[in-house]
Amino acid sequence: MKILIVDDNADDRRVLRYTVEAQGHKVLLAEHGEQGLAMAEQHKPDLIISDALMPVMDGFRFLRNLKQKPSLSDIPFIFYSAAYRENQDVQLALSLGAAGYIIKPIEPPTFWKEVEQILANSKATHRLVSQPAPETSEYFKRYSQVVATKLEEKVRELEWTLEERARAEANLQRALKEREVLIHEIHHRVKNNLQIIISLMQMQANYVTDPVARLAFKENETRVLSMALVHDKLYQSLRLNQIRIAEYMRSLVEELASTKPNVSIELDIPDLSFDIDTAIPCGLILNELIMNTFRYAFPENRSGHIRVQLRTSGTISNASGQPAPIYTLTVSDNGIGLPGHIDPKNSNDPKTLGFRLIAIFVHQLHGTSTYESTDANGTEFSMTFSPVLERAIPAPIVVDGDSHA
Amino acid sequence: MSTSPSKGRILIVDDEQLIVATLEMSLEQMGYSTTAPASTGEEAVKIAASDNPDLVLMDINLPGAINGIDAAKMIFSRFRIRSIFVSGYPHSEMASLADGPWSRGYITKPYSLERLQSAIEVALDPRA
């Protein structure tokens, strides 16, 4: 047989074609009723299998047009549709002279059995020759009813999809909002706890009379404050693990500068973002350097100047082969230089705790550092480092009730 | 309560008792006296009414129905006493709610005693 398949869906056309060809028949393909009509006129197929819902010309109009052409009206016509499957749809199809109606989708072997069954029935009842086309007015009435019902159904589907989408969007927004509130709450609690640590130190400092011990408490308070500042900046940052280093260092320096008004501090820092693993050691290093400079370079109420500079000084290929920037942090002053008994490299001297901490944080940044005397008799600290590699955070293990691992 | 002349009497509002105790100690060393502390907004309004402090150090996140900002507004509208907010929330986030005639400053936690002292000095400066 020569069979014309009409369907606007390419996948459906392909499956139908294989099914029909597998039965040893020749296949003609069309994408909608208008094309199907032209091909039917040209090739006079022995059977037409058509979808119902199609653009340009749907299956019902296609069938009605066929039946109005004497040369084509005898060709058996089978609907194969997923969209129209209500009783009124099937009734309209049969009243227009369809030999049968198969509801999509159906397995290929079953499909072909259905086709054979329909053809056998229609021959037996002579339906394809005896069935008269309905009156035009009756046809339009039933046709518009079928199409309108389908349209309503599609609109309902669309409305439901839109509602579903709006619901999903609202849920997503709510989840995001909750996450944001939670993160802010955590930052708030961290800062509150840091205030409690500071309060503990202030309280304890009040119980010691030794000025060296009191100073030690004060210095630790400043260290905690410089770490707390990271949380302040992270909290305000859009990316939760990145902070703008210039802003962070400026706040840090402002906080310290208020304790030594006769020393001016100049900052020359580009607007770069550092991750917290890099920013915290950088902040602590800067904190120690400035505290040391205040103490040694500008004793009593000597006035002076400190300059803090951050520069990109090159690139390096990191462990994953990506180019990573190399930074140089320089802190220089025009003070009186380090006293002779202070050696920044002798980290066992208790007077050099600040220098020891700097060495620890430089090491943590995989950096190198130098101290040099400047022409102005001051000191210049310089550190070269590259941002710390991102962490490979293990995924949390979900333990189910039965597991004893 | 101290009998020596005080630079001003301050009401501390915070639900964290260690912070309250440290503040009481530090303020005394700075030369200020304190009223009984409050740990909720309701309590703060009550103590402001009975003790008539010169200034309030007000935490924002407080237990109970009244937060620190609302308590500060109530204390200002009823008794014309103003507050310095002391909070873990950054000022940028709270500015639109916290700033107003009831406020004499905003300090974020954690803070140094120097910062606290300068904020109080500014707040109590009669020239300001």
pLDDT value at residue A371: 87
Complex ipTM:
0.79
Which of A142, A152, A135 is closest to A93 using CA atoms?
Answer: A142
State the pLDDT confidence band at B2, using cuts at 50, 70 and 90.
very low
User: Mind listing the pLDDT tens digit for each residue in B107-120?
Assistant: 999 998 888 999 99
CB–CB contact B110 A195 (8 Å):
yes
Closest by Cβ to B18, choosing from A200, A224, A255: A200
In the predicted structure, residue A118 carries a pLDDT above the cut 90? no
Whether B63 and chain A come into contact, CB under 8 Å, resolves to no
Whether B117 and chain A come into contact, CB under 8 Å, resolves to no
CB–CB contact B19 A222 (8 Å):
no
pLDDT value at residue A255: 84
* Cβ atoms B111, B103 nearer than 8 A: no
In the predicted structure, residue A131 carries a pLDDT above the cut 70? no
Mean per-residue pLDDT of chain A: 85
Whether B25 and chain A come into contact, CB under 8 Å, resolves to yes
Distance of residue A191 Cα from the nearest chain B Cα, in angstroms: 6
**Contact residues, chain B, for A255 at CB < 8 Å:** 112, 115
Q: How many Cβ contacts (< 8 angstroms) between chains A and B?
A: 66
Of all residues in chain B, the one with the smallest CA distance to A202 is B22
Distance of residue A331 Cα from the nearest chain B Cα, in angstroms: 24
Token pair for A276: 């917290």
In the predicted structure, residue A396 carries a pLDDT above the cut 80? no
- Bridging pattern class, strands B55-59 and B82-87: parallel
pLDDT value at residue A72: 87
| Distance of alpha carbon A115 from alpha carbon A79, whole angstroms | 10
**Which A residues, 225 through 254, put their C-beta within 8 Å of a C-beta on chain B?**
225, 228, 232, 235-236
CB–CB contact A202 B26 (8 Å):
yes
Token pair for A83: 């969209």
Tokens 């009223």 -> residue: B35
pLDDT value at residue B4: 58
Structure-derived torsion over alpha carbons of residues B88, B89, B90, B93, reported in degrees to the nearest 10: -170
Q: What percent of chain A has pLDDT over 70?
A: 89
- In order of A209, B38, B42, B56, B62, the CA distances from B12 in angstroms are 27, 6, 13, 6, 12
User: Mind listing the pLDDT tens digit for each residue in A195-250?
Assistant: 999 998 988 888 899 998 988 898 898 899 888 888 888 777 666 678 899 999 99
**Which A residues, 166 through 185, put their C-beta within 8 Å of a C-beta on chain B?**
184
In the predicted structure, residue A14 carries a pLDDT above the cut 50? yes
CB–CB contact B115 A255 (8 Å):
yes
Compute chain B's Rg from CA coordinates.
13
Distance of residue B18 Cα from the nearest chain A Cα, in angstroms: 7
| Distance of alpha carbon B70 from alpha carbon B52, whole angstroms | 18
Of all residues in chain B, the one with the smallest CA distance to A228 is B110
Q: Report the pLDDT averaged over residues B48-71.
A: 95
The helix/strand/coil state of A85 is coil
Compute chain A's Rg from CA coordinates.
42
The end-to-end CA distance of chain B, in Å, is 28
| Distance of alpha carbon A287 from alpha carbon A227, whole angstroms | 10
Give me the long-range contacts of A36-44 (CB less than 8 A, separation at least 24).
Answer: A36/A4, A36/A6, A36/A62, A37/A62, A37/A65, A37/A66, A39/A4, A40/A4, A40/A66, A40/A72, A40/A75, A41/A69, A41/A71, A41/A72, A43/A2, A43/A4, A44/A2, A44/A71, A44/A72, A44/A75
Mean per-residue pLDDT of chain B: 91
CB–CB contact B110 A255 (8 Å):
no
| Distance of alpha carbon A125 from alpha carbon A84, whole angstroms | 25
**Phi and psi at residue A322, to the nearest 5°:** -85, 145
Q: How far is CA A82 from the centre of its chain?
A: 36
